């Protein structure tokens, strides 16, 4: 319940941010207005002594978030998907936030597994390790199936984590309401929407069956991708609180020295990571939304392994085409076409000057393309692009937020493997292949067939819809409106004639 009792939680949060030195950093990151800064200081400074100390070795914001507990850690991860809110630099820092929390007892994990799956543990697993990783929502154990001998990873939710998250999310909602009430100017950043997005992600992660479904779909979509592996879920050993999947053996992408020592080509890996991400986003419209080093490994044979599918991104076909055209506009340095795409997609209000917007986009792209490969940065590009689109009245595009953030993270991972990677050269073939397949003549024919098939399915409904429309019009019409009704009837007749003609075309094409 979003009541005044949440004020105490906000005071404790503000006090921790003050004590760790994170308050100023966070306020600067979102360019908070003066009244919000004053309110934050009032909630934090007088009660500074109540705040958690945190780990002094961590950066201020990361230090505060980790000190406040699992819900705040997860919220920090989600905020890393909002560079438009917290800035690219802080988003990059938060995207590498590690969930290194104390594990809960193994005996408790075993009891939860037995309760959920309805069998004694030794009938399911012949081996079961202590926790090998402990995160904000769950921890992972290495195990071996008793029936097949296959090595697996068993992920178990933290006990009572749902209740703990609900309590903190309630406080987050209360805080967002206060921020918007105190400063209407902050509504452009949509703090309520940010919290709602966070709540949706967390609710999805609190049911491990949903993560198993994401892993299953992702594995199906990518089964033909060369040198790429996705650990598959074991449905018979999966429940709401337990997820069993293939064990992924490999070197973490965070250990570049070990990857090189094992003889892997880091330059090829860097290029493959970027191209795989773009393929998944553009080809499938379903991509891994948390592709940092902690969720990627290199198998002994050189394959790239992705795991942890709690955060997945999904974009529709239309948005994929717009995104591809935006990328290609920058790759080709065609700023007039790039501006046109923004206007046609409705990303920029039509009352703005397209020529001025094209010049602003040129100011974004040219400095980056004029730099050498080590300085060509997607992160910088997106940072400048946010500034330009905001100046021209572009509202936050929620369907692109996770896509943009993941692109920044993927670039960071690729750069860690090959600092000299040319991002645009690596991206170009994937984007061009997508555009050829989806924006050329063949795509137009395919789209036309889909439209006609949709019309064919709707034909049986047309007479009733037209009759209903005529009946409503007659019911509402009085004497002075008879003339307009006759006009409506002629329009209806024209619509009927057009529908009949379309039906004829459909029948010819499908014959």
Give how far Cα 254 sits from Cα of 311, 403, 467, Å. Answer: 20, 22, 65
The answer to whether the beta carbons of residues 338 and 288 sit under 8 Å apart is no
Phi, psi of 228 (to 5 degrees): -140, 130
Provide the pairing of β-strand 296-298 with 251-252: antiparallel
Catalytic status, residue 290: yes
Q: Angle of helix 266-279 relative to helix 398-417, nearest 10 degrees? A: 170
CA 152, CA 315: separation in Å to the nearest integer?
Answer: 31
What are the extents of the domains in the chain? 6-100+164-184, 252-439, 444-510
Structure tokens at 356: 């001025």
CA 505 and chain centroid, separation: 41
Q: Element (H or E) spanning 306, and its range?
A: strand 304-306
Q: Which candidate, 284, 372, 278, places its Cα nearest to that of 326?
A: 278
Q: Which candidate, 140, 349, 325, places its Cα nearest to that of 245?
A: 140
CA 171, CA 10: separation in Å to the nearest integer?
Answer: 7
Q: Which candidate, 145, 123, 143, places its Cα nearest to that of 131?
A: 143
409 contact partners, CB below 8 Å, separation of at least 6: 80, 92, 95, 290, 291, 292
| Predicted structure pTM score | 0.72
Phi, psi of 243 (to 5 degrees): -130, 120
Per-residue pLDDT of the chain (511 residues; tens, 9 = 90+): 455 666 777 777 888 888 887 787 777 766 666 766 777 766 666 767 777 888 888 778 888 888 887 778 877 766 665 555 566 677 766 765 655 667 899 999 999 999 999 999 999 999 999 999 887 788 999 999 999 999 999 999 999 888 878 777 877 787 777 777 776 655 655 677 777 766 777 777 889 999 999 999 999 999 999 999 999 999 999 999 999 999 999 998 888 899 999 999 999 999 999 999 999 998 999 999 888 887 899 999 999 999 889 888 888 888 888 888 887 888 788 999 889 988 888 888 888 898 998 998 888 878 766 666 566 666 566 666 766 776 787 766 656 667 777 787 788 788 888 888 888 788 888 888 888 887 666 666 665 666 666 666 667 777 777 777 777 777 776 555 555 545 545 444 444 444 443 334 333 333 4
CA 43, CA 7: separation in Å to the nearest integer?
Answer: 9
The answer to whether the beta carbons of residues 240 and 116 sit under 8 Å apart is yes
Residue of 290, 303, 308, 351 marked catalytic: 290
Give how far Cα 5 sits from Cα of 176, 180, 202, Å. Answer: 15, 19, 22
**Residue whose token pair is 């499938």:** 284
Provide the pairing of β-strand 151-157 with 242-246: antiparallel
CA 328, CA 322: separation in Å to the nearest integer?
Answer: 10
CA 325, CA 344: separation in Å to the nearest integer?
Answer: 11
């Amino acid at each position: 319940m979003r009541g005044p009792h949440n004020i105490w939680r906000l005071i404790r949060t503000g006090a921790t941010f003050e004590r760790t030195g994170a308050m100023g950093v966070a306020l600067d990151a979102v360019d908070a207005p003066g009244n919000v800064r004053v309110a934050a200081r009032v909630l934090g400074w007088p009660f500074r002594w109540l705040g958690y100390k945190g780990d002094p070795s961590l950066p201020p914001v990361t230090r505060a978030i980790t000190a406040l507990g699992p819900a705040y850690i997860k919220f920090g991860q989600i905020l890393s998907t909002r560079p438009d809110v917290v800035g690219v630099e802080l988003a990059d820092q938060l995207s590498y936030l590690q969930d290194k929390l104390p594990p809960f007892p193994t005996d408790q994990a075993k009891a939860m597994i037995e309760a959920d799956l309805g069998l004694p543990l030794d009938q399911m697993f012949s081996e079961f390790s202590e926790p090998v990783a402990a995160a904000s929502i769950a921890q992972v154990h290495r195990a071996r199936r008793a029936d097949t001998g296959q090595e697996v990873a068993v992920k178990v939710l933290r006990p009572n984590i749902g209740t703990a998250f609900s309590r903190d999310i309630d406080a987050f909602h209360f805080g967002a309401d206060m921020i918007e009430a105190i400063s209407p100017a902050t509504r452009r950043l949509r703090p309520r929407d940010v919290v709602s997005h966070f709540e949706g992600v967390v609710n999805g992660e609190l049911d491990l069956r949903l993560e198993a479904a994401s892993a299953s779909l992702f594995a199906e979509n990518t089964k033909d991708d060369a040198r790429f592996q996705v650990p598959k879920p074991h449905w018979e050993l999966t429940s709401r609180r337990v997820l069993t999947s293939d064990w992924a053996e490999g070197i973490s992408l965070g250990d570049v020295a070990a990857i090189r020592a094992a003889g892997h080509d880091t330059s090829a890996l860097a290029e493959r990571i970027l191209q795989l991400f773009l393929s998944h986003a553009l080809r499938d419209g379903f991509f891994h939304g948390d592709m940092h080093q902690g969720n990627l490994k290199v198998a002994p044979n050189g394959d790239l392994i992705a795991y942890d599918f709690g955060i997945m991104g999904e974009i529709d076909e239309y948005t994929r085409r717009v995104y591809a055209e935006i990328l290609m506009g920058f790759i080709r340095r065609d700023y007039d076409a790039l501006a046109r795409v923004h206007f046609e997609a409705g990303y920029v209000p039509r009352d703005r000057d397209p020529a001025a917007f094209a010049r602003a986009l040129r100011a974004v792209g040219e400095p980056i393309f004029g730099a050498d490969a080590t300085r060509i940065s997607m992160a910088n590009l997106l940072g400048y692009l946010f500034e330009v689109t905001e100046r021209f009245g572009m509202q936050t595009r929620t369907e692109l937020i996770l896509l943009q953030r993941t692109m920044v993270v993927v670039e960071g991972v690729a750069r860690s493997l090959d600092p000299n990677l040319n991002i645009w050269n690596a991206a170009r073939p994937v984007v061009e292949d997508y555009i050829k397949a989806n924006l050329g003549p063949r795509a137009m024919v395919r789209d036309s067939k889909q439209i006609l098939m949709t019309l064919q399915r709707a034909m049986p409904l047309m007479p009733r819809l037209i009759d209903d429309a005529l009946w409503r019009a007659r019911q509402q019409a009085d004497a002075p409106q008879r003339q307009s009704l006759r006009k409506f009837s002629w329009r209806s007749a024209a619509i009927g004639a057009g529908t009949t003609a379309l039906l004829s075309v459909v029948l010819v094409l499908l014959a």
